């Protein structure tokens, strides 16, 4: 376990644990062993009896872990990128160069999902500019949100998002933190019917909204929900994730590195051999693999702002989803740490 000193940064852990897991080849994916920057209840084992989705996508000759969107059957790579804070940068090449490389590498390495929001500062503008430079919009599953309360303000916000992201269609549009969900859902459904969005959903980043979210999920047909969920933040397992599965809703996961306790406790320790058997080669991959192996979860979107992190995070897609017993072992290890 880690000592009493300050928690390791992800970069420090990458340096300290470099060389672990030698011999594990990912083709174009360089091996990175480390942890992520800092950003409960027991598992319901009955719900875990079914085998999680089998890897279905491929990059070159290598399979990647994908999950089916319940409302359509479309397969999504189970790791994408989140853009809060990290993509809120200016116009300088120094600020944008690593983000351009992240967006270039994401589909090259097997991921597709980019999650953003108008409230993430300049993120939408930066993403739109960089996708236009790269010419890879058609390789990105683009998800954004709408938060404005007033109907007209919400419509204006959506139109600004189209302009900033330089696209005429969103793959997913979510109502941010449940704000005005009752009058926004009809608007989103109309946009979906018109073909301007492919999927619709609702997000929250507050456990205090879970009761309201559950009530909405029980009454409304949604393609996706989005919630916080991590190996050290498992409260969504109590009600929200089982309900999403029962109701046929996909799940985006915010903050899949949670409060970062796994990295603080284990960042300078080798990955257990039993975890390496599932292709897990870093503590970031350990945390992400736990998240995406939950049967209800469709995709995790860790905040990602550097090429080394996107390689490490997306490298999770080249492992094997652990079964229920191994998931319990993973959470027990973190709880004991």
pLDDT of 288-305, one tens digit each?
999 999 999 999 999 999
pLDDT in tens, 303-315: 999 999 999 999 9
112 in any annotated domain: yes
Give the domain CATH number at 178: 3.20.20.100
Q: Number of C-alpha atoms within 13 angstroms, CB side, residue 12?
A: 13
pTM as predicted = 0.84
13 in any annotated domain: no
Return all residues near 299 (Cβ < 8 A) that are at least 6 apart.
67, 76, 77, 78, 79, 80, 113, 250, 251, 252, 253, 292
37 in any annotated domain: no
Q: Is the pLDDT of residue 35 over 60?
A: no
* Sign of the dihedral defined by the CA atoms of residues 244, 250, 256, 258, in that order: negative
Higher-confidence residue: 14 or 170?
Answer: 170
14 in any annotated domain: no
291 in any annotated domain: yes
Q: Is the pLDDT of residue 104 over 80?
A: yes
Domain that holds residue 204: 53-336
Name the domain count of the chain. Answer: 1
Task: Enumerate the β-bridge partners of residue 252.
Answer: 226, 299
Confidence of residue 33 (pLDDT cuts 50, 70, 90): very low
- Between CA 209 and CA 4 the distance in angstroms is 35
66 in any annotated domain: yes
* pLDDT on residue 269: 92
Confidence of residue 268 (pLDDT cuts 50, 70, 90): confident
27 in any annotated domain: no
Task: Enumerate the β-bridge partners of residue 81.
Answer: 114
- Between CA 132 and CA 166 the distance in angstroms is 7
Q: Is the pLDDT of residue 317 over 80?
A: yes
3 in any annotated domain: no
């Amino acid at each position: 376990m880690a000592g009493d000193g300050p928690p390791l940064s992800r970069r420090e852990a990458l340096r300290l644990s470099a060389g672990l897991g030698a011999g594990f080849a990912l083709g174009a994916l360089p091996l990175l062993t480390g942890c992520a920057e800092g950003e409960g209840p027991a598992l319901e084992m009955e719900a875990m009896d079914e085998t999680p989705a089998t890897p279905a996508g491929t990059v070159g000759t290598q399979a990647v872990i994908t999950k089916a969107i319940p409302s359509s059957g479309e397969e999504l790579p189970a790791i994408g990128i989140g853009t809060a804070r990290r993509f809120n940068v200016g116009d300088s090449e120094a600020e944008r160069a690593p983000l351009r490389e992240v967006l270039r590498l994401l589909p090259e390495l097997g991921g597709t999902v980019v999650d953003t929001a108008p409230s993430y500062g300049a993120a939408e503008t930066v993403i739109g500019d960089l996708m236009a430079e790269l010419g890879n919009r058609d390789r990105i599953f683009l998800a954004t949100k709408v938060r404005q309360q007033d109907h007209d303000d919400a419509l204006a916000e959506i139109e600004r998002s189209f302009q900033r992201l330089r696209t005429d269609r969103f793959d997913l549009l979510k109502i941010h933190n449940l704000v005005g969900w009752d009058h926004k859902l009809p608007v989103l459904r109309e946009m979906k019917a018109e073909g301007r969005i492919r999927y619709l959903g609702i997000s929250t980043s507050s456990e205090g909204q879970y009761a309201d979210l559950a009530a909405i999920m029980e009454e409304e047909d949604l393609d996706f929900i989005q919630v916080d969920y991590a190996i050290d933040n498992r409260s969504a397992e109590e009600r929200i994730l089982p309900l999403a599965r029962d109701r046929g809703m996909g799940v985006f996961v915010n903050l899949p590195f949670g409060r970062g306790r796994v990295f603080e406790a284990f960042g300078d320790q080798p990955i257990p051999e039993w975890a390496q058997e599932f292709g897990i080669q870093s503590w970031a991959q350990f945390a992400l693999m736990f998240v995406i192996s939950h049967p209800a979860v469709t995709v995790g979107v860790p905040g990602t702002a550097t090429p080394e992190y996107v390689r490490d995070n997306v490298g999770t897609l080249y492992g094997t989803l652990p079964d229920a017993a191994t998931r319990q072992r993973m959470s027990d290890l973190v709880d004991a740490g």
